[in-house]
A = this chain, B = another copy of it.
């Protein structure tokens, strides 16, 4: 029997997220405004703000006139609250970004992964050297780092810090945290890009303040990050969201997952290339050995009203729209965000067509509740989300005993490395 855990601590952590999320989204806010926006009581907000101030995540920035009453204190994210590291590890690159605790970018570094570099020690080596390079470029010392989120493709055991399965590297049960810890002495939070992109949207994008959010990653791979009740939904074993491997066409195209007719086989970048190849095998838009170039050419073709490009976009959008209508009918979400590079490239023309197909296929009540939108996040959502996991991990650890000592604001010793 699974033991369901619901404690007042869970609520306190969730409320802490809500308060900080609201402050990060505004340049400055009063406790009254935060209470109004989050639905929390003024007393709860005051309490949480004091806690975040004492941790050094917030600073007092002045007062606001309250129309006759006492002036209201304003708080803002502390630009010197510490450093968060977000690592987006993909099949072809490692991308690292450093942020302040206000999630302002500080530095970035990227290394190319060669196709034959698939061994765990090789990938770990690139992560470590890339993080080290980014820290050096901004003169960040390890004592300023609050934590690092590491996104890796495939299925991840988050608690154990293990990459359970990464099909493109043929990884099974690789103990990543164990391999990384000796070389990156900081709190490490492992997850995959679906969930990193979803948490980035919840904190900073179209999912902010929403309960039921679906973030669809449309890149080489395809998947869904799900959030219900304002929190990430992971499923029984943190492997929810494999929407790319739900069946779009029974007995359809073979998929690299071993099944047939998967969503990813039609609307992932290689699937879209195949749609193009089927429509016009000799098309000059097609660059058989380069997905990025092909998708860029397709975008250009649509802009120029090239009939092949338009037909391929139409077909892709129709298949994608059917799969998104299924999500609308099954999950009745408030927001569906199209994220990652294929969505960014094909942009508004893709969104317009998809929206039309969904309107034809979905049932009217869930359709009326759902907004479909392109991600408005700038930069790499997976590294932003990975850094957000580091921030969430830190916020969750407040008040939890570590080595017999309670971290956090109850006493005058704080766990913020900058104030230690």
Contacts and interface: CB of A to CB of B under 8 A. Distances in A.
Interface residues of A, number: 67
Interface stretch (A244-252, A346-354, A382-390, A403-411): A244-252
Interface stretch (A102-110, A127-135, A359-367): A359-367
Contacts of A402: none
A267 to B, nearest CB: 13
A334 interface: yes
> How many copies of this protein are present in the complex?
2
Contacts of A97: none
Given A239-B369, A330-B224, A250 B322 contact: yes
Interface string A230-272: 1001111111111101111110000001010000000000000
B212 A236 contact: yes
A175 B323 CA distance: 33
Interface string A32-66: 00000111000000000000000000000000000
A165 B329 contact: no
Given A247-B325, A250-B249, A237 B2 contact: no
B332 A236 contact: yes
A125 to B, nearest CB: 27
Most B Cβ at <10 Å: residue of A164, A165, A242, A329: A329
Given A4-B39, A331-B240, A365 B164 contact: yes
Interface stretch (A7-15, A82-90, A183-191, A283-291): A7-15
Contacts of A236: 211-212, 332-334, 366, 369-370
Contacts of A248: 247, 250
A29 to B, nearest CB: 14
A366 B239 contact: yes
A243 B155 contact: no
Contacts of A369: 235-237, 239
Contact of A235 (B165, B235, B333): B333
Interface string A206-246: 00111110000000000010101110011111111111011
A63 to B, nearest CB: 25
A102 to B, nearest CB: 21
A80 B325 CA distance: 48
Nearest to A36: B3
B165 A39 contact: no
A329 B243 contact: yes
A333 B15 CA distance: 27
A368 interface: yes
A47 to B, nearest CB: 13
B330 A240 contact: yes
Most B Cβ at <10 Å: residue of A4, A237, A243, A259: A4
A259 B2 contact: no
6 contacts: A4-B18, A235-B369, A237-B368, A240-B331, A246-B330, A247-B322
Interface of A: 1-8, 11, 14-15, 18, 37-39, 155, 164-165, 208-212, 224, 226, 228-230, 233-243, 245-250, 257, 259, 319, 322-323, 325-326, 329-334, 360-361, 363-366, 368-370
